[in-house]
A and B are shown apart, each in its own frame.
Chain A
């Protein structure tokens, strides 16, 4: 208990003293997680909408695969990406291991199935009705997609929040492909792991608390977007609705 209390105090000290090392680690963590989230979102949301709205051979198998990958152990994902990127691996010539790019790739691979799977769930129930409605009201393709995204917004934001949480809290995969190199590939989670190994428990707890504060802040922003949209709609809202 004493270690935790000292960790809380240390966390505030690090924040208010603008500790350079901690801010560097925080910055890299956010950069990696948000970029991975962006890429996974841009690919996963359209993929989820497509899968939900189409019948094709192997769809059930694909969905089982996506659900399985949603729970994929990060260490395994990190290992596979590491093997692919190592010198003797198929993508070895890119020389990406132990770089931020490799960390973004591995986190994108972890987040993508989550966003795709949750988008499928969000789109499955209402997509048919929304598309029919849009068609009968004279909406074109772009307007139909806007309406669909607007109607699915709660499910999509849940998918984004879940994806971000997966990325920001992940340690095994980024440790393997990033290597926790000081000033280069060190994130908050790999830093905590290292500090624990060095016996610096107070500082480890402090970084952990900062991680929680950042996660809470980003989720608060995302939840704000998810709130009842009645008020914003009066001024004209997404999708021209």
Chain B
């Protein structure tokens, strides 16, 4: 396991087909076809109520769709052991930072030595080393979010979902998290899907950007194209700030 941790690359392609979700008569999600590329960062952007969080919850297996299919690396089975999610307001276990980061590894029955090594490495990368023994109750929002990210990355997920992870944290912590995500993509090939309201963040991180509006995909393309010469007028308006409601 340690050798694999150092060298192997992990990632998983996601294919979404005819995905629908409604609450009563109100359709919140209606996606015909969308592919999240293996080993890349995909940012999902859109105005409030566009269905971004619903999409993420369905992909993470926390919510059922009414219709449609999601293929995880070609399979319809949800790979709970190979993916994880970081919430906008993460729920930390009422224990220490160290125990939180180690928790997924303990679930997977890693050896004590391996757990110690991984926790130490992640903590160092995210500047959490001095907090390892600290209980989570007194942490700042940025520290909470970094702990949640370290916990999510500890078992090398192939798929990582992030729901506005930097919405309520300071710019320095945001930068540290972004650097970590880019490093993971570069070194491990982790497939990352991030919801963000921050278009600048989408520009800094994403290989692919998806604009959702009223539950539908307006445009999904490479980040460069999305920001410089998108196909759709609505995308142009959105990146120009006209649809940021």
Contact = CB atoms under 8 A, between A and B. Distances in A.
Interface of A: 126, 129-130, 132-133, 135-139, 143, 147, 150-151, 228-230, 233-234, 237, 240-241
A110 to B, nearest CB: 31
| Residue with the greatest number of chain B CB neighbours at <10 A, chosen from A126, A133, A143, A240 | A133
Nearest to B62: A132
Nearest to A134: B107
A147 B87 CA distance: 18
B93 interface: yes
A136 B93 contact: no
Given A135-B62, A137-B151, A151 B93 contact: yes
Given A133-B91, A147-B93, A151-B94, A138 B106 contact: no
Nearest to B112: A236
A138 B81 contact: yes
Contacts of A137: 84, 103-104, 107, 151-152
| Residue with the greatest number of chain B CB neighbours at <10 A, chosen from A135, A147, A230, A241 | A241
B61 A143 contact: no
| Residue with the greatest number of chain A CB neighbours at <10 A, chosen from B84, B93, B161 | B93
Contacts of A139: 107
B72 to A, nearest CB: 14
B80 interface: yes
Contact of A241 (B84, B87, B99, B155): B99
Interface in B92-110: 93-96, 99, 103-104, 106-108
A138 B61 contact: no
A152 to B, nearest CB: 10
The dominant DSSP class at the B interface is: mixed
27 contacts: A132-B62, A133-B91, A133-B93, A135-B80, A136-B60, A136-B62, A136-B80, A136-B84, A136-B85, A136-B152, A137-B84, A137-B104, A137-B107, A137-B151, A138-B80, A138-B81, A138-B84, A138-B104, A138-B108, A147-B93, A151-B94, A228-B135, A230-B95, A230-B135, A234-B96, A237-B95, A240-B106
Given A138-B84, A230-B96, 7 more contacts: A129-B91, A135-B60, A135-B61, A138-B108, A147-B93, A229-B95, A233-B96
A-B pairs, top 7 by smallest CB distance, nearest first, are: A136-B85, A129-B91, A133-B91, A138-B81, A137-B104, A240-B106, A138-B80
Interface string B58-95: 00111000000000000000001101110100010111
Given A138-B80, A151-B94, A241 B62 contact: no
B1 to A, nearest CB: 16
Nearest to B102: A241
A240 B81 CA distance: 17
Contacts of A143: 107
Contacts of B108: 138
Interface string B134-163: 010000000000000001100100000100
Contacts of B107: 137-139, 143, 240
B75 to A, nearest CB: 16
A200 to B, nearest CB: 50
Contacts of B99: 233, 241
Contacts of B96: 230, 233-234
Contacts of A233: 95-96, 99
Contact of A132 (B83, B91, B106, B155): B91
A210 to B, nearest CB: 37
Contacts of A147: 93
B80 A241 contact: no
A241 B91 contact: no
Nearest to A153: B94
Nearest to B148: A133
